[in-house]
Chain A
Amino acid sequence: MIGLRIEDLSHAYDGLTVVDRVNLDVGEGEIVCLVGPSGCGKSTTLRLAAGLEPVQRGRVTIGDTVVATATFSVAPERRRLGLVFQDYALFPHLTVFENVAFGLAALAPAEQRQRALAALDQVRMATQSTLYPHELSGGQQQRIALARALAPRPSVMLLDEPFSNLDFQLRRQVWEDTLGVLRRAGTPTLLVTHDPHEAMKMGDRVAVMERGRITQFARPSEIYGRPASASIARFFGETTTLTGTVRGGQVATPFNAFPVESYPDGTEVEIVIRPEALHLNIGHAAHERCEFNTPTLDASVVEARHLGPYSLVHFRVNDDATVLVARVPGVVAPRVGTALRVHLDRTAAFVFPRDEKLSA
Chain B
Amino acid sequence: MVAGSEGVDGSQRSGGGWTVPPFATAIVVAAPILAVVGIALLPGEAVWYHLATTVLPAYALNTLTLLVGVGVGVLAIGTITAWLVTMCEFPGRRAFEWALLLPMAIPAYVVAFVYTGMLEYAGPVQSGLRAWFGWSTARDYWFPDIRTVGGAIAVMTLVLYPYVYLLARAAFTEQSVGQIEVARTLGRGGLRTFVTVALPLARPALVAGTTLALLEALNDFGTVDYFAVNTFTRGTFNVWLGMNNLAGAAQIAVALVAVVLALIALERAARGRRRFRAAHGTYRSLPRYTLSPARQGAAFVACALPVALGFLVPAATLAEDTVGDLGGAFDRGFVRLALNSLGLALVAAALATAVALFLAYAPRVRQTRPLAAALRIAGIGYAMPGAVLAIGVLIPFGWFDNRLDAALRSLFGVSSGLLLSGTVAALIFAYVVRFLAVALGSVDASFTKVPIGIDHAARTLGATPRQALVRVGLPLVRPSLLAAALLVFVDVMKELPMTLILRPFNFNTLATRTYEYAGGEQLAQAAPLALAIVLVGIIPVIMLSRAIAAARPGQRRA
A interface residue numbers (CB < 8 A to B): 50-52, 54, 72-79, 81-83, 85-87, 89-93, 102-103, 105-106, 148-149, 152, 158
Contacts and interface: CB of A to CB of B under 8 A. Distances in A.
Which 8 A-B residue pairs are closest in the complex by CB-CB distance?
A103-B461, A75-B14, A89-B453, A89-B457, A75-B7, A83-B460, A76-B459, A85-B453
A73 B298 CA distance: 68
B11 A83 contact: no
B283 to A, nearest CB: 23
Given A75-B6, A76-B14, A82 B460 contact: yes
Given A77-B461, A83-B460, A89-B451, 16 more contacts: A54-B366, A74-B7, A74-B10, A75-B15, A77-B460, A79-B460, A85-B453, A85-B456, A89-B456, A91-B457, A91-B472, A92-B476, A93-B475, A105-B463, A106-B462, A152-B462
A50 B460 contact: yes
B458 interface: yes
A51 B457 contact: no
Nearest to A106: B462
A52 B456 contact: yes
B461 A152 contact: yes
A72 B11 contact: yes
5 contacts: A78-B10, A83-B457, A85-B456, A90-B457, A158-B460
Contacts of B463: 77, 102, 105
B41 to A, nearest CB: 36
A78 B453 CA distance: 17
A77 B476 contact: no
A91 B7 CA distance: 24
A151 to B, nearest CB: 8
B454 interface: yes
A105 to B, nearest CB: 7
B451 to A, nearest CB: 6
B14 A148 contact: no
Contacts of B10: 74-75, 78
**Range of interface residues on chain B?**
20 to 34
B462 A77 contact: yes
Nearest to A83: B460
B7 A78 contact: yes
A77 B453 contact: no
Nearest to A78: B10
Contacts of B462: 77-78, 103, 105-106, 152
Contacts of B6: 75
B14 A81 contact: no
Contacts of A158: 460
A89 B468 CA distance: 13
Contacts of B451: 87, 89
A303 B366 CA distance: 56
B458 A102 contact: yes
A15 B366 CA distance: 19
A113 B342 CA distance: 46
Nearest to B450: A92
A149 B458 CA distance: 10
Given A89-B454, A92-B476, A52 B461 contact: no
Contacts of B12: 73
B229 to A, nearest CB: 50
B364 to A, nearest CB: 11
A106 B462 CA distance: 9
B471 interface: yes
B459 A77 contact: yes
A54 B13 contact: yes
Contacts of B317: none
B282 interface: no
A85 B460 CA distance: 11
Contacts of A85: 453, 456-457
Contacts of A105: 462-463, 467
A105 B472 CA distance: 13
B127 interface: no
Interface in B2-53: 6-7, 10-15
B464 interface: yes
Given A73-B13, A73-B14, A102 B456 contact: no
Contacts of B453: 85-87, 89
A102 B460 contact: no
B550 to A, nearest CB: 18
Contacts of B366: 54
B456 A77 contact: no
A325 B267 CA distance: 60
A49 B137 CA distance: 87
A93 B454 CA distance: 11
Given A50-B456, A91-B454, A92-B476, A77 B464 contact: yes
Contacts of B454: 89, 91-92
A83 B456 CA distance: 9
A264 to B, nearest CB: 50
Nearest to A80: B462
A90 B472 CA distance: 10
B87 to A, nearest CB: 36
Contacts of B15: 75
Contact of B471 (A72, A73, A81, A102): A102
A127 to B, nearest CB: 23
Interface string B464-502: 100100011001100000000000000000000000000
Nearest to B460: A83
A52 B454 CA distance: 12
Contacts of B475: 93
B218 to A, nearest CB: 38
Contacts of B457: 83, 85, 89-91, 148
Contacts of A103: 461-462
A330 B451 CA distance: 46
Contacts of A90: 457
A157 to B, nearest CB: 10
Contacts of A54: 13, 366
A73 B12 CA distance: 6
Contacts of A152: 461-462
A75 B15 CA distance: 8
Contacts of B460: 50, 52, 76-77, 79, 81-83, 149, 158
A89 B14 CA distance: 21
Contacts of A102: 458, 461, 463, 471
Contacts of B458: 91, 102
A76 B456 contact: yes
B363 to A, nearest CB: 14
Nearest to A81: B460
Interface string B122-163: 000000000000000000000000000000000000000000
Contacts of B472: 91, 93
A148 B461 contact: yes
Contacts of A76: 14, 456, 459-460
Interface in B432-467: 451, 453-454, 456-464, 467
Contact of B459 (A75, A91, A149): A75
A188 to B, nearest CB: 15
A54 B475 CA distance: 28
A83 B458 CA distance: 10
> Among A78, A89, A102, A148, which residue has the most Cβ atoms of chain B within 10 A?
A89
Nearest to A72: B11
Contacts of A51: 14, 459
Nearest to A145: B457
B256 to A, nearest CB: 38
B478 to A, nearest CB: 9
> Among B6, B454, B461, B472, which residue has the most Cβ atoms of chain A within 10 A?
B461
Nearest to A65: B10
B460 to A, nearest CB: 4
A158 B457 CA distance: 11
Nearest to B474: A93
A102 B460 CA distance: 10
Contacts of B14: 51, 73-77
A154 to B, nearest CB: 8
Given A92-B476, A93-B476, A102-B471, A52 B11 contact: no
